[in-house]
Structure 1
Amino acid sequence: MQTASQAYKAEMKKQLRDRSYIRVTIGLINQEAQASASVPYPERYTYYSNLGMPLNNYQVEELYAACDQDYSQVDGSMYFLPRRAEDVVLNQGIVSESLLGPVELRFPLPYDIRGLTIEFGKAWPVNFRIESDQSTVEVKGNAFGHFVTEEIFDNTTWLRIVPETMVNGQGRLRIHQITMGIGIYFDNHKILSATKKEHVSPIMEELPTLDFDLTVNNKDRTFDIENEDSAVNFLEIGQEIRVLYGQELENGDTEWIPGATVYLREWSADDERMSFSASDRFEDLDGTYYQGTYRPEGITLYNLAVDVLEDAGVDSRTYWLDGYLRDVTVNNPLPPVPHREALQMIANAGRCILYQDRNGKICMKSSFIPDMEARAGAETYFSSAASVLEKTRKEAYAMTGRNFTDVKPAQFFLPREGGDTGRIQNGYVSEAVAGEDGRFQENPQVEIVLEARYKCFGLTLVFGRNPPGEVVFRSYLDGDLAEEYTVSEIDGVTVISHEFPDFDRLVLEFTKGTPFNRVVLDQIEFGESTDYELSYGTELTRTPKGTQLARVRELQVLRTLYSPSAEESKELTRETVEITSADNRYTFYFSNASYEFSCAITDAGAGQTARIVDSSSYYATVEFSGISGSCEVVIMGKEYAVSQAKISRQTGLQGSLEVWENPLVSSPIHAADLADWVGDYLKADREYDLEYRGDPRIDTNDLVFLENKYVPDLLVRVYDHTLKFNGALAGTIKARRDMSGVAAAKNRLERK
């Protein structure tokens, strides 16, 4: 689920929402820069300027006459200027107040902008400069009002266009339209409808899909395919399309959320509208992966996924793999399948989901509750930091801290140091004692380490007597600091309602305590894995439709075992090939996993040789020497002996038998982990069809709470999500009840 501000969340809960927006670009346009750009110093521009429309994709259609040199026409195509700014009704774009005056744009954050597209209109600059806080681009001899540059403006907070020579002599600089990048750009006033459809199987039963359909107004025939100057003629299959959703907030600001990055597949136009269809990157990963190799020493799923992606030609900067995959090792070869299916098998074997994120990256992310371990640096000899994650009743020792010990029989005498006899079950107790001002000489810290990344929405800290005064949470992901969050309102049971980002390590640093007391932390309990609720009368527009799915009583996960063949080497393939001096290599493919290859030329002549230069379990590449023409080649080798075993898990008392096979799985432990993961999914045998008001925050595989009369805090996992826009948002969801225990009941923490 995408992160959003509290103001955004409150806005989406309102019965009557403010205006929703959408921006769609085809090409290399920085939408964040486009959406946040502004024109400072309005006094430097004419009173009939419009400083916003050129940045928001509005075209200048009719012109006012002005006293610039050789600008105005008396053929009836221009209008007289009104005397007052409030009477200006025609969009003129940005017009400098002075002749040959510059136009400046500002951004609230540094952006990397790849190219600019500027519409200057009928009076364009011939020679001009484009200045930024990092570079200056000199333009000489520009001959058109439509100007495009592919220059890259890195880390830019401002742009300034400074004319030196205008085509009409002494004229003002006019910018009718400016786009931060190169491409076609649509927004609310041009878009008739847009639909985004996503599907992700929570157990990777099938490949993920992302489809986007867009329809724009073409009544002005801007996108006529017979118009040689139309932008439609520059469209190509595979061009990047970026979607950005915006929501107006209570204070009038607009909060923007990335929508999707998809790739153009087809388009068509008539005199009324133009339609675009786009989809995800997986559609292009249709080449076959033949590199599958049996490895007795094993290979991590991480390295195997990298090998598949590299074989598919995917740039390493455009994918992300969960570091947890480095902890899972497999021996079996991947069969010859398309690259996308190979990635699907790896994701399933690693209990991950495979998807494309909103920036277009291919991602493989763990999708289970990770094992956690708690530890602390400086703790007392009677402390037990590891137990803070255990849901057990904690007892307390009597200590000498101020106002800590009483005479009630609820505390125990301290054991002697080094003697464990009679130890009670307690939590973390810091070695450090707070001073008179509540400060420590060395701040106590507790660290939670997870086997895989995790995201949670809130947690609960249960303290002993005299809780500390302040704690700082630092969350880390892959060794990098993800967030620092401070809480200073603390009591004995402290519920922290905060959306923590993905993390695989969480450090709690106690920066202030109760004077003359140690920090006593009995329990850390992670709260909901979601803060999103679909409720009647707020989000849902119709009552949910629930379906009881076929029940499964038993799940069997098959293990595939490879072993050396007991047979002698045999002929694997025989083929006649054509060899030339320019192309002296040929690759032979096998249907079964094989090894110990050798090759020979049938009836080889003098000086004719062949040798295997590359191979996997499913192919062998042979290099020839001394041959020009056709020859028959025999490949000899052995086929692995393949057998199967199974691991069973009981998922219910009634129902069918489900068999799950992943060719990568061979070890009993790996199969058992996979059986638990898939089994939890199959136990959730109820799904729901939902219609709601639409929210761009939701991703497939998100957990959400669904209001239900009989089951409080019903947790469901989204696997289909359709988001429609036609001036307003609407959506549909298909979700399955979640039984994995990833999240607790929504109000469980508050009820403690």
Structure 2
Amino acid sequence: MQPASQQYKELMRSEFRNPFSHIRVTIGLINQEAQAGAYVPNQDNYTYYSSFKMPLDNYEVQELYATCDQDYTPVDGSMYFLPRKRADVVLNQGIVSEGLMGPVEIRFPVQHDIKGLTIEFGKAYPVDFTIQSDNKTLEITGNDNGHFVTEEIFNGATFLRFNPSRMVNGQSRFRIHKITMGIGIYFDNRRILSATKKEHISPIMEELPTIDFNLSINNKDRGFDIENEESSVNFLEIGQDITILYGQELEDGSVEWLPGAKLQLKEWSADDEEMSFSASDRFDFMDGTYYRGLYRPEGISLYDLALDVLSDAGIDNRTYWIDSYLKSVKVSNPMPVVTHKEALQLIANAGRCILYQDREGNIFLKSSFIPDMEAESDNETYFSHAGSVLDKAEKKPYALAVQDYTNVTSTQYFLPRQEEGTTYLNVGYVSEAVAKSDGYFVVNPTVEINLEASFKCFGLTLEFGSNNPTQMVFHAYLDGGLVEDYIVTDLTATTVISHEFEEFDKLVMEFTKGFPNNRVILNNITFGDSTDYIFEYGHELTKTPKGTQLAKVRELQIVRTLYNQAGEKKELAKETIAVTAADNRYTFYFNNPSYDLSCALTEPGEGLTATIIDSSNYFATVEITGVTGVVEVSISGRELTSVKANVTRQLNPTGSQEAWENPLVSDAILAANLADWIGDYLKSDRQYELEYRGEPRIDANDIAFLENKYVSNLLLRVYEHTLKFNGAISGSIKARRDMSNVADS
């Protein structure tokens, strides 16, 4: 669920919501072929610290080197000293001309029609300059910004040459930090007739996640007629980015904007009344095949396997995130021959994760279960049990010699002497540090909670012993980096903290002020409800929910696939290949997973060789040297054999029997974890369909409470969310109830 301000949440929860909802849709008109093929020729004409690829690949210039250009280098420490050699240059500076006000030229391998340019010049931007292409010279005067956009069309361009004649800072080198071959089309409420976004995520990765978006805009002025040569329609391309923003007008008249999605254009059409667009998620376009499956007896982590799949698919490493928990989950079986998106789906399921695309268009592979937690402290007294604060067991306090703590009733125990072998009662966490008379510590006591995997929660409850501390700070970390510091004051004996914590895998609780002359005593920590959103009658819901009782599953069987390297060597493939000097490689593909591969020429001659240069269990690439013409090559090897075994979990006394097979799963413990995870989902056999007012914050796979007459705090996990806009926002949801470990994460 997307974060938002408290003012926004209160407005969306009010009985009569402000009807002024907004939507913005931008379609990036970028010539992707031109962008991908662009290059900088004659690189000797530029400084040795120039970057020639990054400006064309959407990288930002974030830090600058100091140079001797006029009025360029400040003395405030914001720039770095310039290295003397190219090998020592580490900062992206964009393309920088060698001479003062020198030209910059970008070329393309073939002709392209380019509608518009978006250029980042940086702080030393040109005021007057020209842009020259094969068929046009565009003169710009009076430019007053380092961010430059033009809608001019450059037809049949094989090059773009930028010539500055006046720079904002005088005598300066000419720089291009980033350049995009195109611009964006922008639509808002005034032109949008309707928009529908539909998201679907299976909580157990039974299907691939999907996001589908449909947009209709007013075309009565025929501005998007396909016969209009100036129309932006003629420059649309499949795969271009579509960015969606939702906005809500607040009580003070301001509009709070929430990211909706970043998708890829799929198709479009227009008539005299309206134009329609459709877009989908990145997975829809990841239809390449993964052949690199390899049996590894020693195992490979699902994290490394996911990296290999994403690399083979050509996915930019800046656009995905993999849960570090998957580094601890290993598999041995080869990935079968599937599409890249299906390979990621198998990895997600085997690791009890969900695969999804976030609202910025990034791919996420994230754990989806309650992680194991361990509490510890390096500042606890000798009879303390910091690890027990998570067990929810009743704590038994000792009488302590601190201010106003010990009473004369029979509610406290005598503290044994500190001797080796002494067993102490479960007292929870008791700090070694004692607060001074003003409540502050010399060294603040801390309790650290480490999680098996990342976790997100909405609030928690702290139960202190007598004389509770008064102030503390929560430090949340993810993958070793600090993501949030949350300060809490006015602590009470039982403190309920209603705060939406950022996702974390380590939580450090630092007590900054205690009760005067007392230790910090913490009995229990309970991670609270995992959501703060409630579907209520008369507020969110516009119709009564429709509930469905699903068919029960009696028994779940997780099928394990156990491979064996015991096959006999045989000929796997034979092909007649035409070899040329420019093309002397050939790839063989196998139906069955094979290993111990070798290749040979049927009629070997002197100086002729055939060598396997790359292979997996499903392919072998052969390089042939010493010959041109037709040759016959054979591949020999052994096929892996496999057997099946089952791990079974009983779910209900009656019902059907379900078998679940993930070809990556062979380990019995991994299969048992999977049986529990999927079993909890199948055991929750009630489904709900909701019609509600619409909330742009909600994502598929979010959880929420549903008001119910018979069940308090009925918890749902959303697996399908549809958000509609036709001047106002409305929504519909499909959700499943109470999925135990899955739902509570």
With normalisation by structure 1, the TM-score equals: 0.80
Tell me if structure 2 keeps the 8 A contact 1:148–1:182. no
The whole-number CA distance in structure 1 between the counterparts of 2:186 and 2:523 is 56
The whole-number CA distance in structure 2 between the counterparts of 1:632 and 1:641 is 28
Unmatched 5+ residue regions in structure 2? Answer: 31-93, 95-118, 132-136, 149-164, 167-179
Letter aligned with residue 278 of structure 1: A
- Tell me how far 1:146 sits from its aligned partner: 11
For each residue in 1:357-378, what CA deviation from the matched residue of structure 2 results, as whole angstroms up to 9, or x when unmatched?
Answer: 1001111011000000100111
- Residue aligned with 1:140, SS: strand
CA 151–605 in structure 1, closer or farther in 2 if over 3 Å, else same: farther
- Give 1:710's aligned residue: 710
- Give 1:134's aligned residue: 123
- Give 1:74's aligned residue: none
Letter aligned with residue 463 of structure 1: F
The whole-number CA distance in structure 2 between the counterparts of 1:583 and 1:148 is 53
Tell me if structure 1 keeps the 8 A contact 2:121–2:146. no
Tell me if structure 2 keeps the 8 A contact 1:570–1:636. yes
Letter aligned with residue 528 of structure 1: D
Tell me if structure 1 keeps the 8 A contact 2:373–2:449. yes
Tell me if structure 1 keeps the 8 A contact 2:700–2:719. yes
The whole-number CA distance in structure 2 between the counterparts of 1:673 and 1:708 is 32
Tell me if structure 1 keeps the 8 A contact 2:433–2:519. yes
Tell me if structure 2 keeps the 8 A contact 1:527–1:744. no
Tell me if structure 2 keeps the 8 A contact 1:134–1:153. no
Equivalence map 1:670-681=2 (5 Å) = 670-681=670-681
CA 379–414 in structure 1, closer or farther in 2 if over 3 Å, else same: same
For each residue in 1:297-317, what CA deviation from the matched residue of structure 2 results, as whole angstroms up to 9, or x when unmatched?
Answer: 211111100100110111111
- Give 1:549's aligned residue: 550
- Give 2:728's aligned residue: 728
RMSD (Å), alpha carbons: 2.4
Tell me if structure 1 keeps the 8 A contact 2:556–2:659. yes
- Give 2:504's aligned residue: 503
Letter aligned with residue 681 of structure 1: Y
Tell me if structure 2 keeps the 8 A contact 1:530–1:743. no
Letter aligned with residue 683 of structure 1: K
CA 556–136 in structure 1, closer or farther in 2 if over 3 Å, else same: same
Letter aligned with residue 732 of structure 1: S
The whole-number CA distance in structure 2 between the counterparts of 1:687 and 1:247 is 30
- Residue aligned with 2:682, SS: helix
- Give 2:646's aligned residue: 646
Tell me if structure 2 keeps the 8 A contact 1:427–1:521. yes
Equivalence map 1:298-447=2 (5 Å) = 298-421=299-422, 423-447=424-448
For each residue in 1:603-631, what CA deviation from the matched residue of structure 2 results, as whole angstroms up to 9, or x when unmatched?
Answer: 33343321211110111111112232222
The whole-number CA distance in structure 2 between the counterparts of 1:250 and 1:743 is 34
Letter aligned with residue 535 of structure 2: L
- Residue aligned with 1:412, SS: coil
The whole-number CA distance in structure 2 between the counterparts of 1:716 and 1:295 is 40
- Give 1:618's aligned residue: 618
For each residue in 1:420-454, what CA deviation from the matched residue of structure 2 results, as whole angstroms up to 9, or x when unmatched?
Answer: 54521210000011111000000000011101110
- Give 1:202's aligned residue: 203
Letter aligned with residue 600 of structure 2: A
For each residue in 1:283-310, what CA deviation from the matched residue of structure 2 results, as whole angstroms up to 9, or x when unmatched?
Answer: 1111110000011121111110010011
- Residue aligned with 2:365, SS: strand
For each residue in 1:75-122, what CA deviation from the matched residue of structure 2 results, as whole angstroms up to 9, or x when unmatched?
Answer: xxxxxxxxxxxxxxxxxxxxxxxxxxxxxxxxxxxxxxx9xxxxxxxx
Task: Please say if 1:664 is aligned against 2:653.
Answer: no
Equivalence map 1:266-285=2 (5 Å) = 266-285=267-286
CA 535–146 in structure 1, closer or farther in 2 if over 3 Å, else same: farther
Letter aligned with residue 670 of structure 2: H
Tell me if structure 1 keeps the 8 A contact 2:29–2:185. no
- Tell me how far 1:16 sits from its aligned partner: 2.2
Tell me if structure 2 keeps the 8 A contact 1:150–1:182. no
Letter aligned with residue 228 of structure 1: E
Letter aligned with residue 505 of structure 2: D
Tell me if structure 1 keeps the 8 A contact 2:369–2:744. no
- Residue aligned with 1:432, SS: strand
Tell me if structure 1 keeps the 8 A contact 2:681–2:742. no
- Tell me how far 1:138 sits from its aligned partner: 2.2
Bigger mean CA offset, 473-482 vs 141-150: 141-150
With normalisation by structure 2, the TM-score equals: 0.81
- Tell me how far 1:145 sits from its aligned partner: 12
- Give 1:42's aligned residue: none
- Residue aligned with 1:348, SS: helix
The whole-number CA distance in structure 2 between the counterparts of 1:561 and 1:599 is 28
- Give 2:536's aligned residue: 535
The whole-number CA distance in structure 2 between the counterparts of 1:512 and 1:312 is 52
The whole-number CA distance in structure 2 between the counterparts of 1:443 and 1:241 is 49
Tell me if structure 2 keeps the 8 A contact 1:462–1:492. yes
Tell me if structure 1 keeps the 8 A contact 2:193–2:726. yes
- Give 2:16's aligned residue: 16
- Tell me how far 1:399 sits from its aligned partner: 0.2
- Tell me how far 1:744 sits from its aligned partner: 6.7
- Tell me how far 1:334 sits from its aligned partner: 0.1
The whole-number CA distance in structure 2 between the counterparts of 1:635 and 1:231 is 52
Letter aligned with residue 428 of structure 2: G
Tell me if structure 1 keeps the 8 A contact 2:127–2:141. no
Tell me if structure 2 keeps the 8 A contact 1:131–1:137. no
Letter aligned with residue 688 of structure 1: Y
The whole-number CA distance in structure 2 between the counterparts of 1:668 and 1:407 is 55
Task: Please say if 1:477 is aligned against 2:478.
Answer: yes
- Residue aligned with 1:277, SS: strand
Identical residues among aligned pairs (%): 63
Equivalence map 1:489-500=2 (5 Å) = 489-500=490-501
CA 741–303 in structure 1, closer or farther in 2 if over 3 Å, else same: closer
The whole-number CA distance in structure 2 between the counterparts of 1:579 and 1:616 is 23
Letter aligned with residue 530 of structure 2: S
- Residue aligned with 2:260, SS: strand
The whole-number CA distance in structure 2 between the counterparts of 1:574 and 1:282 is 35
Task: Please say if 1:599 is aligned against 2:599.
Answer: yes
- Residue aligned with 1:396, SS: coil
- Give 2:53's aligned residue: none
- Residue aligned with 2:336, SS: coil
- Give 2:515's aligned residue: 514
- Tell me how far 1:254 sits from its aligned partner: 1.3
Tell me if structure 2 keeps the 8 A contact 1:213–1:276. yes
The number of residue pairs the alignment matches comes to 622
CA 615–187 in structure 1, closer or farther in 2 if over 3 Å, else same: same
The whole-number CA distance in structure 1 between the counterparts of 2:147 and 2:555 is 59
- Give 1:263's aligned residue: 264
CA 234–685 in structure 1, closer or farther in 2 if over 3 Å, else same: same
For each residue in 1:653-674, what CA deviation from the matched residue of structure 2 results, as whole angstroms up to 9, or x when unmatched?
Answer: 1111111111111111111111
- Tell me how far 1:234 sits from its aligned partner: 1.4
The whole-number CA distance in structure 2 between the counterparts of 1:373 and 1:502 is 17
- Give 2:634's aligned residue: 634
Tell me if structure 1 keeps the 8 A contact 2:128–2:140. no
Bigger mean CA offset, 620-629 vs 670-679: 620-629
Tell me if structure 1 keeps the 8 A contact 2:680–2:742. no
- Tell me how far 1:5 sits from its aligned partner: 1.2
- Residue aligned with 2:712, SS: coil
Unmatched 5+ residue regions in structure 1? Answer: 30-113, 115-129, 155-163, 166-178, 746-752
- Residue aligned with 1:264, SS: strand
- Residue aligned with 2:466, SS: coil
